[in-house]
Amino acid sequence: MMKKYTLTFNTWGEKQLSIYEHRIKNIRLKWCKQLFKIINIKTLFRKKKLLIIDLGCNYFQLYKEIKIRKINKLINYFGYESEKKYINIGLKYFPELKKKYKICNVESAKLKINDISVCSAVLEHIEKPTKIINHILKTTKKVVIFRTFLGKKNKKQVFFSSSKNGYLIRQFDKYQIKRKMVKFGFKVKFHLDEATNKKSYFVNGDKRFKRKFYFIVGTKT
């Protein structure tokens, strides 16, 4: 019988908070930089600010990249996150976001109608990903960006960091997820993830969990 698992603050602990604190002060994340190489915000902008929703916004690392690039005047940002402790780190550096986030279970969140949806490193940990994928595709008008593990078939495994705590690690069928996005009217492109050096790797060093990260980018004309 499979053990129960959860992805909670208690799973990661205080060490993770110190890592995030270091990153927000010192590191410009590669995946955030790559995202804005893939999509050109200025070509999407018209007269009204673009609404970007960030699912699993963590400590607002995507917003940090928006500010660095000085394109925040083109963007109305809103984040969804399950852990208030991560949000609190971000608000120390970006107090202007104090009304620009929602604490909730991302899997069942009611999303705003938006121009661009970003969902990075979230889907692989969700119990019922089809529901949230469909909801994202229904509520997004211009661009959907998923960043997750892809392969030749769907996989579902649980990694246990201790005897009590574990978390789900999925892999999605690359072309199955493309077909779904096409049904919703999106043109789809794949980009290998630069933050993981475009290579397969063992998640947390566990050889049972070899995965490769991709950006899946869907656009509507």
For residue range 12-66, what is the model confidence (pLDDT) as tens digits?
Answer: 556 778 889 999 999 999 999 999 999 999 889 888 899 999 999 999 999 999 9
Element housing 201 (H / E): strand 201-202
Give the global pTM: 0.90
- Domain-embedded: residue 30: yes
Q: Average pLDDT, whole number, for the chain?
A: 89
Q: How far apart are CA 72 and CA 77, in angstroms?
A: 8
Long-range pairs for 127-135 at CB < 8 Å and ≥24 separation? 127/168, 129/170, 129/172, 131/107, 132/55, 132/106, 132/107, 132/108, 133/177, 133/180, 134/180, 135/109, 135/111
* Structure token digits, residue 216: 């899946």
Which of 210, 192, 191, 190 has the alpha carbon at shortest distance from 201?
A: 210
- Domain-embedded: residue 113: yes
User: Which CATH number belongs to the domain containing residue 72 in this structure?
Assistant: 3.40.50.150
- Domain-embedded: residue 124: yes
Angle between helices 9-26 and 84-93 (to 10 degrees): 10
Contacting residues for 19 by C-beta, under 8 A, at least 6 apart: none
What domain range includes position 120? Answer: 9-219
Question: In angstroms, how far apart are the furthest CA atoms of the chain?
Answer: 56
How does DSSP assign 113-141, residue by residue? PEEEEEEES-GGG-SSHHHHHHHHHHHEE
- What pLDDT band is residue 9 in, cutting at 50, 70 and 90? very low
CB atoms within 10 A of CB 27: 11
Tally of domains in the chain:
1
- Domain-embedded: residue 199: yes
CA atoms within 13 A on the CB side of 211: 26
- Domain-embedded: residue 184: yes
- Domain-embedded: residue 2: no
Interval 66-115: pLDDT, tens: 999 999 999 999 999 999 999 999 999 999 999 999 999 988 899 999 99
- Domain-embedded: residue 32: yes
**Which pLDDT does position 161 carry in this prediction?**
61
